[in-house]
Amino acid sequence: MIESIAIVGATGAVGRLIRQLLEDREFPCKKITFLASKRSVGTPITFRGEEHKVQLLSPDAFNDIDLAIGSTPDDVAEEFCPWAVQRNCVVVDESGFWRMDPKVPLVVPEINPEAALAHQGIISSPNCSTTQMVLAMKPLHDAGKIRRVIVSTYQATSGAGVQGQADLIDGSRAFLDQQDYDYQAFAHPIAFNLIPQIGSHKEQGYTSEEMKMVYETQKIFGDGSIKVCPTCVRVPVENCHSESILVETEKKITVEEARKLFAATQGIQVIDDLSQGEYPMPSTCSDDDRTFIGRIREDLSCENGLAFWCVSDNLRKGAATNAIQIAELLVRSQAAT
């Protein structure tokens, strides 16, 4: 049974949201432990009306812990996940380190919940830009089998953490005041600008962020035949990633059929009335666990193509919410046995 849980990286932006959502969703646990690096040890955290102190992330911190949810850099996840597994603690990991490990399931509960139940101690949650895209792809893939995806992302600065947010706000203020600003999270100014690179140079001119979308999509669907051509762009938006997605299916799906498929899918909300100026936007989709879809239309260049616009809160469904949904899946599975 899952009675004790730990939040690893508890003082980070996603870690703070994880503990908020655990309260909001009334996640069942008798004991909770908050873990972080040495500089955060002793930080007070209030959870369900009780004050806790952040403890040091160490191997022995996972003694008597049943489940850990981690939101840490890759190098930290590489180290701590084996510590937890060796002590019979299951880890739901937000980092990118374990995602493509063949022994580690990569899970979006609305798509491949069965994969989570076959874990060997670690379950990985996908990259935020991948998560909203595959959720939108799911009903179309089931109905018509997707052969190809062309996606351009418009990714918010919150995806670069607290410092990314500061760079947007403080950099914009400095720009308007005609002052210099020393950007920390980005290699170029983000204020009043677009940066068509997220991540490092990877292969064939694609970045690491773009290749995550390729490989993670194929792994989640268990279908290496799905072709994905991504372009990832950082934009001066505080929160919510947006994506322009074009899919080509083997079987034609009309706009009307697609709209019904999206509307019937758990976790998706359709907002699509171009004549009334109604479509998803970051300013209206933040602080929501759903993935929003609009601008649904036929691709004019491809017989079996559909184009649409997709917006999702990258800190929630793209990170914290998906991890908690995986944890809830494990709880339900244990309760059913």
Q: Choose, from 81, 89, 240, 241, the residue flagged as catalytic.
A: 241
Is 241 a residue of the active site? Answer: yes
How far CA 167 is from CA of 192, 237, 243, in Å, comes to: 12, 11, 22
Q: Cα 12–66–61 angle (5° rounding)?
A: 55
Q: Is 155 helix (H, G, I), strand (E, B) or coil?
A: strand
C-alpha 245/C-alpha 313 separation (Å) is 17
Sign of the C-alpha dihedral, residues 182, 183, 187, 190? negative
Q: Choose, from 89, 128, 240, 310, the residue flagged as catalytic.
A: 128
DSSP-assigned states of every residue in 181-217: ---SS-SS--TT--B---S-EEETTEEHHHHHHHHHH
With CA atoms as reference, report the closest residue to 325 among 40, 143, 110, 72. Answer: 110
Please name the residue that has the structure tokens 């691709």: 299
**Burial classification of residue 311, based on how many CB atoms lie within 10 Å of its CB (0-12 exposed, 13-18 middle, 19 or more buried):** buried
Q: Which active-site residues does the annotation give?
A: 128, 241
